[in-house]
Amino acid sequence: MSLYKVTIDNIEVEVEAGTTILNAARKIGGKVVPPAMCYYSKLEDSGGKCRSCLVKVSQTSATDSRPMPKLVASCRTMVQDGMQVQNTTSAEVLESRKAVTEFLLLNHPLDCPVCDQAGECHLQDLSYEHGLEETNTEEERRTFEPIDIGDYIKLNMNRCILCYRCIMVADQLTDKRHHGVLGRGDHCEIGTYIQKAVDNDFSGNMIDVCPVGALTDRTFRFKSRVWYTNPFDAHRECDKCSGKTVLWLKGEDILRVTGRKDKYGELEEFICNDCRFHHKDIKDWILEGPRKIERHSVISQNHYENKSTSGDNITQ
Amino acid sequence: MARKILLHDIDVANLTDFNVYRNLGGYTAVEKMFKNFTPDQLTEEVKKSGLRGRGGAGFPTGLKWSFLDKKTDKPRYFVCNFDESEPGTFKDRHIGQLNPHQLIEGMILGSYALGVRTAYVYIRGELFYVLKIIEKAIEEAYQNGFLGENIKGSAYSLDLYCQPGAGAYICGEETALLESLEGKRGNPRIKPPFPAVVGLYGCPTVVNNVETIASLPWIINNGAEAYAAIGTEKSKGTKLISACGHINKPGVYEIELGLPVEEFIYSDEYCGGIRNGNKLKAVIAGGSSVPILPAELILKTAKGEPRLLSYESLEEGGFETGTMLGSGGFIVMDDTTCMVKSLLTYARFYHHESCGQCSPCREGTGWMENILRRIDTGKGSMKDIDLLVHIAKHVEGNTICPLGDAAAWPVASAIRHFREEFEEHIKLQQCRFTK
């Protein structure tokens, strides 16, 4: 396999041919990694939709020194040898990312205080880093009633950003997809047509891949803010999945079971509904130890310090 | 009278009938093709003719054909884009409805050049009556041996199908069209890969517009040089312009590319001037998605030269003072037209037709419509104008497919050229034209 040299924000990295700009940036790590609201490395064909990962290609390749005419979706654009990419070093990129954030929040309720996803919400992080201080809009948001799309999953369509990840999970992981995108444009909604239709062994992964609070765990609903629970790596013998999970504990009580997510919020392995919903007794599990959570989210990172004009540390 | 290539026989009675078309010299291009051309030679001939895609983008047709991946063992497909739904554009319907055999003959020529065994005409769902006409014509072509196995005793076989869409403008975008043709939701695909490599059912595919394909028989019959002799240096041949709006004679006209806009609007051969002797205010020259131009800039370029109906002349001045030939949907507005209301109409259309896949277009199109509606109903504020410019700027170029651009350009250009009218609307809190 030939290796390509790519420069992102003046940092050079060597990656295999066929790597996307986003994954090349992830190989460097840190600040040069563009945000990704819809791309999910474990889901085939994901990405390209949210446009939050747009970057500037200032030189196409070693043999073609021209820049690409438009900003490109880094999650779907393959690197070429000698490519020069600007992410945070381009004012144009940052400006358009700000606009994308504004678009994503246009119809997204600011109901973080009552949203189970708060604290691990990618849109919360994105809007913290790239959002406006004050809104430009006076439009009313489109609203939907929250519905149960299965015994375990609550759909709050108001919060959905139409990343299509949950649809890809159903397509690629389960034997049959029972939900999809209905309607067109900003009337689009995730729906099942018949309520509570989603019922299969791996449907719970739809919750884990949802970047926002549109799909939440009904068994965890309003039990606790996530930052008041303690995550532990644990496993059990399971004939459907690897059985490797994270238990979110309050004392001895398991409030929630999820898959193990990496620093980009992506699952290391998909887990089955049996592990996720039916084993809430600590005796069912072999505890491995405290889970190290990548401190990337707004709440866990003490980001709000930067907001303090006095320079005093505000602790949560 | 200008030379007619596409509409030469259009007024002949019963032209949709195979025998009528055949007696006028129809399908001779197919016979000539088998005698004189290998597929590669045919592609070369189309390249030499300088024919450019008539769907809106104006990409050279022969060049597009030569991108088709011929190295794979996969079948190749040729698809006719008949999803004509751009507001102001109704030229393809004219061909399909009145001269379907010209389109079918072109499909045979294109399919042969591309080495295609199965071809499709994807027609807009609302044009169901045209679908029936085309299906009857396809049936006749089969009966007369121009479609099916071993066409006219040659080794070449072709099947042609006509498939209606389900009523979505976005399915005119070529990759959304292919998704829809495959029976899926018509969401545009993320490119690359381009259809020439991964198209219909994952196979190499060429998608061409109706008018482009219908031009092929004439090019083969009369030669590429004859076609290239018509028009200007960069815009060869003839173009159908569907003229509508406040003119005396709306309709579909065939022009030789390079015709002055002024002549097209005011000459009796074409639009016949503005209705009621009114003053020309603005023109959208190439279908609703291209930038609108005020009268002084559509008749003359910023340099003071006469504006011509050609790709390069309409683009003269970029988006600051120019526009695009687009699909040839020529919308004329006289001085009784409210720019805010007309823009609202287009914004509403793009909001309604956005597929909702990528966020700038999904959210931006609705937002722009809401703001324009606010201004139109007298509730707008001055900062709304800058907000519209801001939204249009960030929708443009940042979306998966060109629908985002198509929604942003009309807004940006209307404000660029008619800003004072928007301001007046906001100040008066009502419309000067409809009160």
Per CATH, which fold does B339-428 belong to?
de novo design (two linked rop proteins) (1.20.1440)
Q: How far is it, in rounded angstroms, from Cα A24 to Cα B146?
A: 53
Q: Which amino acid is at B170?
A: I
A203 phi and psi angles, rounded to 5 deg: -60, -30
Q: How far is it, in rounded angstroms, from Cα B285 to Cα B306?
A: 15
Closest CA to B50 of B311, B231, B228: B228
- The residues of chain B that CATH labels 3.10.20.600 are 238-334
Residues 339-358 of B with CB under 8 A from A: 351-358
Task: Write the pLDDT tens digit of every residue in B3-59.
Answer: 899 999 999 999 999 999 999 999 999 999 999 999 999 999 999 999 999 999 999
Across the range A80-84, mean pLDDT stands at 96
Q: How far is residue B134 CA from its own chain's centroid?
A: 19
Closest CA to B425 of B316, B341, B363: B341
Question: Across the interface, do B357 and A162 touch by the CB < 8 Å criterion?
Answer: yes
Q: How much is the pLDDT for A315?
A: 38
Secondary structure string (H, E, C) spanning B323-351: CCCCCCEEEEEECCCCHHHHHHHHHHHHH
DSSP label of B284: E
Measured between CA atoms, the residue of chain A closest to residue B167 is A184
Q: How much is the pLDDT for B154?
A: 95
**Confidence grade of residue A1 (pLDDT, cut at 50, 70, 90):** low
- The residues of chain B that CATH labels 3.40.50.11540 are 18-228
Lowest mean pLDDT among A134-148, A186-200, A296-310, B266-280: A296-310
* Closest approach of A189 to chain B, Cα-based (Å): 10
Angle at B294 between CA B292 and CA B297, to 5 degrees: 100
CATH node for B18-228: 3.40.50.11540
Terminal-residue alpha carbon distance, chain B: 43
**Confidence grade of residue A305 (pLDDT, cut at 50, 70, 90):** low
Q: How far is it, in rounded angstroms, from Cα B203 to Cα B151?
A: 24
pLDDT at A311 over 50: no
* Closest approach of A55 to chain B, Cα-based (Å): 10
**Confidence grade of residue A42 (pLDDT, cut at 50, 70, 90):** very high
Question: Across the interface, do A96 and B398 touch by the CB < 8 Å criterion?
Answer: yes
Q: Which amino acid is at B432?
A: R
Question: Across the interface, do A71 and B398 touch by the CB < 8 Å criterion?
Answer: yes
* Closest approach of A201 to chain B, Cα-based (Å): 26
DSSP label of B165: -
Question: Across the interface, do A183 and B351 touch by the CB < 8 Å criterion?
Answer: no
Measured between CA atoms, the residue of chain A closest to residue B350 is A185
- Average pLDDT for chain B: 96
Q: Give the percent of chain B with pLDDT over 70.
A: 100
Take residue B290 and report the two structure tokens written for it.
């291209």
CB A154 within 8 A of CB A166: no
Q: How far is it, in rounded angstroms, from Cα A192 to Cα A182?
A: 9
Q: How far is it, in rounded angstroms, from Cα A128 to Cα A118?
A: 12
Question: Across the interface, do A181 and B356 touch by the CB < 8 Å criterion?
Answer: yes
pLDDT at B425 over 80: yes
CATH node for B238-334: 3.10.20.600
Q: How much is the pLDDT for A35?
A: 96
Q: How much is the pLDDT for B230?
A: 96
- The residues of chain B that CATH labels 1.20.1440.230 are 339-428
pLDDT at A296 over 80: no
Across the range B112-137, mean pLDDT stands at 97
pLDDT at B435 over 90: no
